Amino acid sequence: MLIGTSDLSKNVDAACVTELGIPMIVLMENAVISAMKNMDIDIYNSYVVVCGVGNNGGDGLGIARHLNTKGKDVEVFLIGNLEKLSECSKINYNILLNMGINIININKSDLIEKDDENINKNKVDKIIKNEKENIIKNKNLTMLKEAISKSDVVVDAIFGTGLKRDITGIFKEVIDMVNDNSKKTYSIDVPSGINSDKGNVLGTCIKANKTISFEFYKRGFLNYDTSSLIGNVIVEKIGVPDFITKKYHEDEFITDENFVKNNIRIRDVHGFKSDFGKVSIVAGSKGFYGASFIATESAVKSGSGLVTLISEEDVQNKASIRLTEAMTVNFEEERLNKILSSSNAIGFGPGMGDSHQTFDKLLKTVEGSNCPIVLDADGLNVMKDRCYRFLEWENKFVITPHLGEMARLTGDSIGYIREHRVDVAKEFAQKYNVVVLLKGYQTVITDGKKTYINPTGNSCMATGGMGDCLLGMITSFIGQGVDVFEATVMGAYIHGYIGDKLSKKMYTVTATDLISNISLTMKEFLLI
């Protein structure tokens, strides 16, 4: 699924009109038809459609027309100055009038007395703030409130992706009225009041139960604070050819099952363990051997032909008892160099401690190998103030930080990264030529050129060892010959997918729960 911005929407629409000769009204009708698929007309009978004067409002007017032809009870309210109706909106507006459908217009004059039409904006805002009860007594606003209260669904088509200013006046009043009285609200393209690029609320916004978005998953929906406002997001095509989209798209995607299915390595019937990669996991320290076990076992279950745990002797002695399907070696053994040099991928960092000793072990790992290295936990912590080394080393690196670890690496605050996580991750990946997997809700994976947002995973997985498990999976996939970036995207998706599946029956999901389901899940993807 594509992620898009308001500029992308604008460019794609313009290209369809100027390069292909598709009239805008055709695109609007396609959008209307696509939206109708999600109006749940088999469940609900009464609808209130609230429209603005732009093209988003035109979509709403078109939806009202189709709902009417389906025999549904529809009331239509148009918010704003009729003289500012877009050309396509005028067409749908006139069609409704010709069909005998009443359209109630609400504009700023509905907030003031007839003899006070020249009142300034500040006075209007004051009236809204201090005299709401009197305002509600206005005939048109009262009709809107009553219609919303008795309807099954409110369709929000007030503002689209082009909105950049804060909402005030009559628009704020109407949006607040919808939120206060609607049983269920469906937003068209984007909930009115949300900045579609950044996800911030522009003064106020519609709280949608469902958002029917066109062509792209809007970038602003990735904002953590937006998730409670957009409801269930459905992306529908409206007839834009793929080559037009690709021409303007910035290579940002939502990962889906097809991506995983297309990248899982099919195991040849004649294959040997040597054909499925040698991977090493460098992990653990005294008192922290659990992380080493989880990461190693995860790599084993993810399909690697041969997995070796590299650790301190104390960890080796404890972990080797449980790791019956993996080899172990400590840093003092002569065969260490051979194992490093023959590895197809290395995972480094879980449970090692943030110390000079850990960085020394990282140096030894880098110097002794020529394969991709996945860094997590203390492998990331020891890189604080040393990120320039990524540019000096020949290995390809994948880093898997959470917000706090990313803050230490970049020097930015957690709050800033949280708000700008896609851009922060992309900039870091570009600057240091690494693949970044920034953990959290809707994990970001980027190599600085392409970016994928992972839709799987949930809070039931917020348990110790999950990051170690993910490191083992990614390292294993790389070792099996999957492209470094694609292996990282695939690892994040499968990791969260298993967690989602288990959480339907379990209150919490542990790393060992997840590990025991990796192999079965990968087989499931191959059979999809």
Express each pLDDT in 176-201 by its tens digit: 999 999 999 999 999 999 999 998 99
Domains and their CATH numbers in the chain: 3-250 (3.40.50.10260), 257-439+446-527 (3.40.1190.20)
pLDDT in tens, 410-421: 999 999 999 899
| pLDDT at 115 (0 to 100) | 40
**Please, what are the averages of pLDDT over each run of 10 residues along the chain (528 residues)?**
90 94 95 96 96 95 96 95 92 94 84 48 52 56 93 96 91 95 97 93 95 94 88 94 90 92 77 77 88 94 93 84 86 90 96 93 95 96 95 96 96 93 96 96 94 94 94 96 96 96 95 95 87
Alpha-carbon distance of 154 to 225, in angstroms, equals 23
Question: How high is the pLDDT of residue 53?
Answer: 94
Q: What angle do CA 87, 89, 91 make, to 5 degrees?
A: 75
CA distance 484 to 479: 9
Show the DSSP H helices in 382-420 as ranges.
Answer: 389-392, 403-410, 414-419
Q: Residue holding tokens 């990735």?
A: 222
Please give the distance of CA 169 from its chain centroid, rounded to a whole number.
Answer: 32
